[in-house]
Chains A and B, each alone.
Chain A
Amino acid sequence: MTTSGTAVASTTGQRGTPPLAVISVRGLTKAYGDVQVLQGIDLDIRRGEVCAIVGPNGAGKTTTVEILEGYRTRSGGTAQVLDVDPGVPTRAWRAQIGIVLQTCQLPAELTVWELVERFAGFYPNPRPVDETLKLVGLEEEHHSRAGTLSGGQQRRLDVAMALVGDPDLLFLDEPTTGFDPSARHQAWAVISRLRELGKTILLTTHSMEEAEALADRVIVIVAGRIVAEGTPDTLGGRDQAPSTIRFRLPTDVRIEQLPELRGRHFAADRDHVTLAGADLTDLGDLLDWARASATSLPGLTVERPSLEDVYLELTGGVR
């Protein structure tokens, strides 16, 4: 470990800003009058990381993101975004970040090309317009007016406008809310391409599927506090959590004939049987029984809880 405050990469960062942190937040609070919306958020986001903030409505996701974007002031705590306090945004700092807001209807009368070109003009080193449109898959629509695009296309145009300045850090506030499945997958493909470009991305979402598909790390906020964080695979101890064993009951076996595993019985679930809260020992015992009784276990699955299950558990079922 290091003794000085400056040298040597330490991404855990107990004190101060870790050298690789693009965003570093300590004890962030926000109150509107008597309502305490954020109760002390600590957050470090490393360069190149894709991080998803999830949580119920009103948990403080957008407030957190908008403080980091420089739109809102904080009530307390410290925040550094690309080594600048977002409470006092500068023009040079704004040139390094890209923002896609939760809701924004773009100027309907301008074309896709015109809007991206207009935004390109705001930045010192913009990415070429045609390249940016290709990145979001809108090169075919470049002559269309923004007002004639579908919801998914408008959102991708919005992303293109956030990207054309070639920012290091992107904020995407609920980028796919209200999308149909194909539009959502297109948007995900765009975000995956951004990850390949090495962009740091902070996104908020309601969809655990989205968090799982895109994020390196998921942060769960409930009532203004971070209640859990981790990779999509390990969040809330998901990888260690008890599993559910499930298979189709063979025609020649009755449910009473199934073994008792550590005193617990299989439950019928239509033509399947399930055992929740199972671990490896239970699975081994089941396989031993199947071998001994020369029966098969058709359609056998062993499932850890889904990210959605973990999320619902963490948020107490509120959505």
Chain B
Amino acid sequence: MSDTRIVWAEFRYQRRSFRRDPQAMFFAVGLPLLYVLIFVSLFGNQSIDFVYNGQPGPLKAHTIMLAGFAAIGVISATFFNLAVDLVQERENGILKRFRGTPLPTRAFIAGHVGTSIILGLAVAAALVLLGRFAYGIPLPLAGLPALVLTLLVSSAAFCCLAFAFTLVVRKASAAVPLLTGVTLALYFLSGNFFLLEHPPLPLRIISAIFPVQHLNNALLSPLNPNATGLRVEWMDLLVIAAWGLGGLIIALRYFRWTPSSRS
């Protein structure tokens, strides 16, 4: 079998495994959809004075929320889900088992990463379409290229971070609680659930350092009806890409294939 076919086959098996795993389905697909349904229904109609390019303009809260939940969808699919999978497979000896076969490492990783990226894109698309058709949230056509670019860059970056994160979690049983804690904290700090009008300085610094708020912002501009031009938030994408690159370098250097216990 040629390498391309092996990669394709791996990709297929990974997708199949994911589809049959209700827990992964819930975290990656169910939860972001649930957030949209709850938050947009309850608070979506408020109007906010939103500053874009130095120009304040009226913006419905639901648009900001939708961008934030699309970010959560991407992060759940590519970071959360992939990290849980990898830690679990490492502990179960599956990574080691695959390492002992002629399967090229890059094919195995491509199967995982490809599945996560497709999933991230699918979840984000589902949320945006749900917003458009159930809540009438605008979807400016001019923003589509920027939206797709942002989704691609961020899902690739968060996949790299998932590989790096497996170094922090030693036990599979700790993966879900730890990842839930980290991501929830970042979502709150980055305004995915509640937007603070005048956040205190430490909060602003923290959210500027971590990639989540940058992703929220890069997803909001393509959806913002007041925005103009390409709507690509290059600075935000740069920060996200830098995080991804950092994760990739750490993963390439330190990623472990074998369970932590030695017999």
Contact = CB atoms under 8 A, between A and B. Distances in A.
Interface of A: 32, 62, 69-71, 91-92, 94-95, 97, 99, 101-107, 109-110, 114, 118-119, 121-124, 145, 161, 165
Given A97-B100, A106-B97, A110-B20, 17 more contacts: A62-B263, A71-B96, A71-B100, A71-B258, A94-B102, A104-B94, A104-B97, A105-B93, A105-B94, A107-B17, A109-B20, A121-B1, A122-B101, A124-B1, A124-B102, A145-B20, A165-B101
Contacts of A99: 97, 100-101
B104 interface: yes
B9 A121 contact: yes
B99 interface: yes
A118 B258 contact: no
B167 interface: no
B176 to A, nearest CB: 16
A195 B101 CA distance: 21
Interface in B9-48: 9-10, 13, 16-18, 20-21
Contacts of A71: 96, 99-100, 258
Contacts of B104: 91
A123 B102 contact: yes
A177 to B, nearest CB: 11
A70 B263 CA distance: 16
Given A94-B102, A121-B6, A110 B97 contact: no
A109 B101 contact: no
A71 to B, nearest CB: 7
B17 A101 contact: no
A-B pairs, 4 with minimum CB distance: A104-B93, A105-B92, A109-B20, A99-B100
Interface of A is mostly: loop
Contacts of A124: 1, 102
A165 B102 CA distance: 10
A283 to B, nearest CB: 45
Contacts of A121: 1, 5-6, 9
Interface residues of B, number: 27
A114 B20 contact: no
B195 interface: no
B114 to A, nearest CB: 15
Contacts, number: 72
B221 to A, nearest CB: 38
Contacts of A110: 13, 16-17, 20
Interface string B236-263: 0000000000000000000000110011
Contacts of B230: none
Nearest to B108: A122
B178 interface: no
B13 A118 contact: yes
7 contacts: A92-B102, A95-B102, A109-B21, A118-B10, A123-B102, A161-B97, A165-B101
Contacts of A91: 102, 104
B94 to A, nearest CB: 6
Contacts of B149: none
A91 B20 CA distance: 31
B103 A122 contact: yes
A122 B21 CA distance: 24
